[in-house]
Amino acid sequence: MNFSNETLKELYRLMVSVRHVDQAAVSWQRQGLLPAYAPELGQEAAQVGSGYVVDTSRDFVFPTYREMGVARAMGVDMVEYMSTHKATWHGGMYNPVETRLAPIQAVVGGSVLHAVGWAHGARLNGPDDDGTYPVAMTYFGDGASSQGDVHEAMNFAAVMAAPVVFFVQNNGWAISVPTERQVAGGSVAARAAGYGMESVQVDGDDVVAVAEATSRAFEHARAGKGPMVVEAMTYRRGPHSTSDDPGRYRTLDQERDDAGEDPVTRLRKRLEADGVADEPFFTRAVEDAKAEAEQIRAGIEALGSRPGSEMFEYVFQESTPALHEQARQWREESEHV
Ligand SMILES: Cc1ncc(C[n+]2csc(CCOP(=O)(O)OP(=O)(O)O)c2C)c(N)n1
Ligand SMILES: [Mg+2]
């Protein structure tokens, strides 16, 4: 991957945008505009660095509930993304096929199975005209790695040589449970060896290191060499969600000690030291991010609710008699028809 000065500046702009929209979303929840939100403060480098290398003309990404930064780096419309947090639409209103981003997934480990299924399909379809495979990338957390589903998915993917990148953000916590209390051996990457898979552990707060590691994993999977694990070591600086109070399981001193250096500050220092960007650039990035957050806010406010009947319409491609019957009963009770 080529990290020209323009690319580095683009990564910085993206990270600042994600930082501002993320913090704004927490405020919107406090103001009653959104019922709930899962902040990603501190994980901007892991998300932007990995989302940035996706080829949205052919790959497919399977997120959890905390991947706003990935969606933003992939160019997904942020109002459509936030619609799930407004409870307007389950999983986000963006078009998964066009954006290449699957619906937001709140089932821990669920995205991993879906990605492996998609990648297995890609393998069965055979390579594209250039002789390489499209790749599925699944996001999941250190906590999710304790789920049986993830082990089954890794084993199946390795046996079938499915072109999938297992991107784990090890942010130190699964709600209130620290990584060391649930990941045996302390590393998710180490497990890959048991499945005969390659893996890499990367400093998840260094956006360039993340982008490089992810793009290597994509090359590996594209070449038909099977799946790969990328473990980005990062830290969840905020609460698990807007319903969580981290003060019940960690102290502010612990937070400060364990969080490490802010990934946004870190990239800024690098750009300054290398003479890549100057003060007007940094000021502009913040101004643009604030303006973007305001636009998103206006878009979220304008979102109307969807017709209730839609909950029956997108379950299966072809509906079932049982679903028809439920829809009929629902219409009778709620619309009196
Ligand atoms: C199958 C399932 N089990 C439990 C939950 C409740 N739950 C939501 S998030 C979470 C912790 C996940 O931690 P991790 O995988 O580290 O991701 P993070 O939240 O840190 O990004 C749990 C247990 C769930 N949503 N789905
Ligand atoms: Mg976690």
Write out pLDDT tens, residues 93-125. Answer: 999 999 999 999 999 999 999 999 999 999 999
| Bridge partner residues of 101 (DSSP) | 61
What is the predicted pLDDT for the residue at 90?
84
Mutate to test the pocket of ligand 1, among 40, 64, 108, 169 (most ligand atoms within 8 A of CB): 108
Q: Residue 250 pLDDT more than 80? A: yes
CATH of 5-305, one of 3.40.50.300, 3.40.50.970, 3.30.1330.10, 3.40.640.10: 3.40.50.970
Pocket flag, ligand 1, residue 188 (CB < 6 Å): no
Residue among 171, 175, 335, 168 at smallest CA distance from 249:
175
pLDDT of residue 84: 96
pLDDT of residue 89: 87
Q: Would the CB of 92 count as within 6 Å of ligand 1?
A: no
CA distances from 10 to 13, 16, 19, 184, 295 (A): 5, 10, 14, 37, 20
Across the range 139-161, mean pLDDT stands at 97
Q: Is the CB of 174 under 6 A from ligand 1?
A: yes
CA distance 251 to 269: 28
Domain boundaries, the chain: 5-305, 307-337
Q: What is the set of active-site residues?
A: 236, 240, 249
Q: How far separated are the first and last CA of the chain, in Å rounded? A: 59
Q: Give the residue-averaged pLDDT of 226-239.
A: 98
**C-beta 139 within 6 A of ligand 1:** no
- Averaged pLDDT, 170-181: 97
Ligand of minimum distance to the alpha carbon of 64? 1
**From ligand 2's centre to the CA of 140, what distance in Å?**
8
Band of the pLDDT at 337, cuts 50, 70, 90?
low
pLDDT of residue 47 exceeding 70: yes
So what's the pLDDT on residue 222? 98
DSSP bridge partners of 233: 170, 203
